[in-house]
Amino acid sequence: MTTEHMPGLASETIGIWVAAGSRDESRETAGSTHFLEHMLFKGTPTKDAKTIAAAFDRTGGDSNAITAKELTCYYSRCLVTDLSDITALLVDMVSNSNLDAEEFERERGVIIEELAMSADDPGDVLFDDFDELIFGDHPLARPVGATKNQIRVLGHHTLLEHHSTTYVPPRLVIAAAGGATHDEVLGMVEDALAQAGVGSEVGSHPWDISSATAGAGHGRGAREVPTFQSGRSHTVKDTEQLGILLGCEGLEEGHPDRFVYSVLLTMLGGGMSSRLFQSVREDRGLAYAVNCVASQFTDFGTFGIYAGCTPENGQAVVDLALAEWDRLATETPTRSELDAIVSQLSGSMVLGLESSAARMNRLARSEIFGISLESPLDLIERVRSVTAEQVSTMAGDLMSRPKSLSLVGPQADVALP
């Protein structure tokens, strides 16, 4: 368990994290991680689905769950005065979910509808297509929620096995940030475990809630490291705009050069003053949205440039984006431009860490990925230590790597040069 006290706050964000995601599934079990996320809200021996929903709504806060490719999280932001009840509810859901077979069949239809909604969103399709293109046969290529056909055949027994083998320590991490002290949260968690009938154990696996153990691995087991696949894909859709995503291999989570990476992403495509925004949108009027994107995993990362434009502007946008990327690699940024980006990043870091949810997220990811926690002042100093030469060198390194291009939208003659 890992917590952070934020004096003066009347609220707390608490989450139970599982160090497993869709990446850890096989072809046969694809979709079970996301399906299980849904099922944990469907009832325990002492609470039905409506009671769980009402208990979360009563606090007036924010409660939800997320499934990602390497993580799953169940969280709630509530008043400190409601934290004991919410903690007990989350622990009960994670450790005592009914996982009823009839509820499983009903929820199957809900998830298929969710996937259909995602398939209607060109942006979701674009990013899924890009992952499928660059990761090939690797598990990271699959959508987090799997496909409709995979959900149709997913067995109830697969869900039960996934829960029994995955939702156990050391994969489980409890993280909290807000107005409660560490000792207060620890007491609430101990009480919640007792109320849930698991005490300090789930099966034969003890919950280690006494302290954080960053970098412990959390029982993930060995993972196959992916290899970036270059290429081009185009999903033709009847839309007004053409979605464009071009990119290459980037940096993994916790990479030593991550602060240089952050400066590069922001300078090239991280805001209204970024090079891509100014060049593609302001100077040429070729697109409304254009920005840099990055995905980071334990052992791999991707760097990309996203844009949405009319089909006839597609090639010009790609060419201009590559030109700006190359200019950053070949021409060292000025001191004034670097100072402006450092100021932007420093401000966004400090403002972001005023959120208890952001701090809870940071604590959990630090614990799971084994990244040392740094104070806001230390983070700012790390950003300030980045040099213009480092940014230019990294841009050149990324530019030299194999690239891929994904398109979603009307037919268009767009390619990487």
Give the pLDDT score at 259. Answer: 97
Provide mean pLDDT across the span 346-354: 92
Q: Is residue 209 very low, low, confident or very high in pLDDT (cuts 50, 70, 90)?
A: low
H/E element holding 116?
helix 101-119
C-alpha 342/C-alpha 337 separation (Å) is 9
Give the pLDDT of residue 208: 53
**CA dist., res. 334 & res. 354, Å (int):** 31
Predicted pLDDT at 221: 61
Per-residue pLDDT of 371-416, as tens digits, reads: 989 988 999 999 999 999 999 999 999 999 999 999 999 999 999 9
Confidence of residue 246 (pLDDT cuts 50, 70, 90): very high
pLDDT at 60: 87
Say whether 399 sits in a helix, a strand or coil: helix
When pLDDT is averaged across residues 339-352 and rounded to a whole number, the result is 94
Give the start-end residues of each E strand in 39-198: 43-44, 47-48, 62-67, 72-79, 172-178
Lowest-pLDDT choice from 60-64, 209-213, 311-315: 209-213
- Output the 3-class SS for 327-395: HHHHCCCCHHHHHHHHHHHHHHHHHHCCCHHHHHHHHHHHHHHCCCCCCHHHHHHHHHCCCHHHHHHHH
- Mean pLDDT for the chain? 93
For range 153-164, the mean pLDDT:
96
Is the distance from CB of 275 to CB of 269 less than 8 angstroms? yes
201-202 and 242-249 as β-strands: parallel, antiparallel, unpaired? unpaired
pLDDT of 261 higher than 90 = yes
Judged by DSSP in three states, 115 sits in helix
Q: Helix %, strand %, coil % for the chain, to 5?
A: 50, 20, 35
DSSP 3-state assignment of 227? coil
How far from each other are the two terminal CA atoms of the chain, in whole angstroms? 50
389 is catalytic: no
High-pLDDT (> 70) share of the chain, %: 94
Going by pLDDT thresholds of 50, 70 and 90, the confidence category of residue 160 is very high
Q: How many helices (H) and strands (E) are present in the chain, helices listed first?
A: 15, 14
Q: At residue 213, does pLDDT exceed 90? A: no
Confidence grade of residue 417 (pLDDT, cut at 50, 70, 90): confident
pLDDT confidence of residue 199: 60
Residues 50-60: tens digit of each pLDDT: 999 999 999 98
For the entire predicted model, the pTM comes to 0.93
- Residue 124 pLDDT > 70, yes or no? yes
Catalytic residue among 4, 37, 107, 324: 37
User: Model confidence over 286-322: pLDDT tens digits?
Assistant: 999 999 999 999 999 999 999 999 999 999 999 999 9
What pLDDT sits at residue 144? 97
Residue 32's pLDDT is 97
| Per-residue confidence (pLDDT) for residue 234, from 0 to 100 | 98
Q: What's residue 211's pLDDT?
A: 47
What confidence category does residue 215 fall into, taking pLDDT thresholds of 50, 70 and 90? Answer: very low
Residue 187 has pLDDT above 60, yes or no: yes
Is the pLDDT at 214 greater than 60? The verdict is no
Q: Per mean pLDDT, which range of 187-201, 330-344, 378-392 is the poorest?
A: 187-201
Domains of the chain: 2-206 (3.30.830.10), 231-409 (3.30.830.10)
